[in-house]
Structure 1
Amino acid sequence: MNRKPPAYRRQGRRAAVAACLVLAVGLGVSTHVSAQAAVRAPAKASTAAPQSVSGKSGQVVTRVADFYGAYIDAKGDYTDPDVTLATALRKHYLTPDFAKRLAVWEKKNGADGVLRAQNIPARWTVTDNGTVGHSHEVIVTLTFGSGETTQMTKLFVLVERYNHIADITTTSAR
C-alpha cells in the first residue's frame, strides 16, 4: 500500500514528467544540432535540361532501344553480369535463324555479336533508318570508353515485320 498522500504523489509525477521533458528536449536539441552539421549544402543547380527518354509501343526504334538498353544493363554489371537475362533477351528479341547465325559469328570472332565487341559500351543511341523491303532498319551507335579515349561503332539492325531482330551488321542493307 502507498502511504503517501495523493498531493505528494502528484508532485512526484510532475517532477518525473518535467525531468523527462527536459531530457527529451535536451536530446532533441543535441540530435538536431548534429543532424544539421551532417547536412551538406545543396549542389548548384544544373543549367542542363532534365534528361528524358520516351518510346511508343509497337514502334521499331523503341523496341530496338529497349533491347539494347536491357541487354547492355544485363551484360554490363562487371561484378555480377546477368547471363540468364541476356540469354532470355536474345531469345525474346532475335529471330531463331539469326540467333544461330549470331552464335557462329561469335565463335569465329570471339566477341559478343549483339554488341560486335568484347566489352560493354558506355553510351548508345538508336536512330530510325527507314524501311528496307518488308523490314525496317535501325542504326545503333555504340560508344566505348570515356573522355578523350572513345571509340564509336555503328551497327545496322534489321527488324522483320513481326518486330524481331533478323540481322545486325556494320553495313547498311539500303
Structure 2
Amino acid sequence: MNRNVAARRRSGLRAAAAGLVLAVGLGVSAQMPAQASVPASAQSPTAVSKPAAAAPKSVTGTSGHVVTRVADFYGAYIDAKGDYENPDAALAKALRKHYLTPDFAKRLAAWEKKNGADGVLRAQNIPARWTVTDNGSMGHAHEVTVTLTFGSGKNAQKTKLFVLVERYNHISDIATKSAH
C-alpha cells in the first residue's frame, strides 16, 4: 500500500471519528434542555422530585348498573338543589318522581314534614362532595352506600346513607343504617 493512500485513510478515519464526536457532542447538548424538563425523580433516584401534575379526573358509569344509577340520581339532585343562584325545584321534583318508587316518595314526604329537612340528603343544606359505593345485593334489592360530605377542611362533616334499590332500579328506601 502506498504511504499517501494510508495517510488519506488515517485522515479519513480521524475525520469520521471527529464527526462522530461532534455528532455525539451535539446530540448530548441538544438533549440537555429536554432532560432539564424531565422531573428530577426520572433523572436520578437520589434527586429531590417535584410534585407531578394532577391527573385529569374521570367518572365512569355503566348504563343500568345500580351504583351508576344512584350516583346519577344524587349528582343531578344535588346539582338541582345546590345551584345557589337558581335552584331548580321542578327538576329536583322530577328526579324524585323518576328515581323513587311511589310508595317511598310518600314516606319520604312524611319524613321531611316531620324532620324539616330534605329526605334525600337527610340534611337542610347541600353537600360539597359525595361518594357512591356498592354495598351488595340482598336478593330482591341492592344496597348502595352514599357518603355525603358537608363543608370542607377541618369543619367537614360526613353523613353515610344506605340507599335500597329495587330490582327495577328504583330507590325504595334511604336510611342511616344498613339493611345488611
Mapped to 1, the partners of 2:102 and 2:72 lie a distance apart of 19
Q: Distance in 2 between matches of 1:46 and 1:70?
A: 32
TM-score scaled to structure 2, two decimals?
A: 0.71
Partner of residue 113 from structure 1, selected from 119, 141, 150: 119
The 1-side partners of 2:89 and 2:139 are apart by 34
User: Aligned letter for 1:60?
Assistant: V
- Confirm whether residue 170 of structure 1 aligns to residue 176 of structure 2: yes
Consecutive unaligned residues of structure 1, counting only runs of 5 or more, are 1-44
- Residue identity over aligned pairs, in percent, reads 81
Q: Say what the alpha-carbon RMSD is for the aligned residues.
A: 1.1
1:125 aligns with 2:131: yes
Per-residue deviation at 1:166? Answer: 0.1
Give how far 1:72 is off: 0.1
Amino acid corresponding to residue 123 of structure 2 in structure 1: A
Q: How does 1:3-152 map to 2 (within 5 A)?
A: 47-152=53-158
Based on CA coordinates, which of the two structures has the bigger radius of gyration?
Answer: 2
- The size of the alignment, in residue pairs, is 130
Q: CA deviation at 1:131?
A: 0.5
- TM-score, length basis structure 1: 0.73
1:141-172 deviation digits (Å, cap 9, x = unpaired): 00000121000000000000000000000000
Deviation digits for residues 96-121 of structure 1 (CA, Å, limit 9, x no counterpart): 00000000000000000000000000
Unaligned residue ranges in structure 2 (runs of 5+): 1-50
Structure 2 CA distance for aligned equivalents of residues 93 and 124 of structure 1: 18
1:46 deviates by 6.2
Q: Which runs of 4+ in 1 moved over 4 A?
A: none
SS of the residue corresponding to residue 148 of structure 1 reads helix
